[in-house]
Structure 1
Amino acid sequence: MQFYGLKTCDTCRKAVSALRAAGQVPEIYDVRGDGVPPAVLEAALTRFGAPMVNRRSTTWRDLSEAERQEEAATLLSRYPALMKRPLIVDGDDMTLGWDAAAQAKWLG
């Protein structure tokens, strides 16, 4: 299980704690420092599309209008912290965010 998030993200920290408590052993990648491998990012964009861009983030608010019009793939490559978090990948299974559906999937 690969876990893509931010070390400073409260939601990511809660998700990692819950996963570990449930016996999962996630490989944790900080999207700022480690990035998201291009193949994983492409698969996630294919599955989730534009909602991968967190439009409520500080990073989004700091973008110019021109930048906000760019493709999601371009934005996420340039500004990894703009990705909605966490992105959890295990084989072909993938979730974005830490909502009830993601928790049910990974915590059982």
Structure 2
Amino acid sequence: MHEQDVSLTIYGIKNCDTMKKARRWLDEAQLPYRFHDYRADGVTGELLQGFIRRTDWRVLLNTRGTTWRKLGEEQRRQAEDAAGALALMLSQPAIIKRPVLQRQDGALLVGFDPAEYQKFTGRGV
């Protein structure tokens, strides 16, 4: 597969069950994609700012996961605005909701739902 053939990038963490479901869906739909692992490939302020320009930062902040539950009250209060949430996501990438699917045109889809993936990609499984 050539890099120019890849029109999707999926961001997340390799061992996340939801990520595995999303990647399996993309594979079954025969859609080439690039996988960006937050742990292996890193997370930059520039990447997150790009996400925040395309979707609400509240959508990106996973307040239902283990990482959020382990935070102290002071750290949770830090995420009450976009700047604080950005800082928290940079320091704790596992708190970013997964997966984030990005098309080549920059459009984002956060989370995994097969019907939404079908609409977003124009392909079905």
Q: What do the CA deviations read for 1:67-97 (whole angstroms, capped 9, x no partner)?
A: 1111110110000000000011122221111
| Structure 1 residue ranges, 4+ long, deviating more than 3 angstroms after superposition | none
Find the structure with the greater CA-based Rg: 2
2:41 counterpart SS class: coil
Residue pairs, 1:1-108, within 5 angstroms: 1-46=8-53, 47-70=55-78, 71-91=84-104, 92-99=106-113, 100-106=115-121, 108=123
For structure 2, the residue ranges without an aligned partner over 5 or more in a row are: 1-7, 79-83
Q: Which moved more, 1:44-53 or 1:61-70?
A: 44-53
For structure 1, the residue ranges without an aligned partner over 5 or more in a row are: none
The CA deviation at 1:98 is 0.7
* Aligned-CA RMSD value: 1.6
Number of corresponding residues: 108
Determine what percentage of the aligned residue pairs are the same residue: 33
Change beyond 3 A, Cα 1:95–1:28: same
TM norm structure 2: 0.78
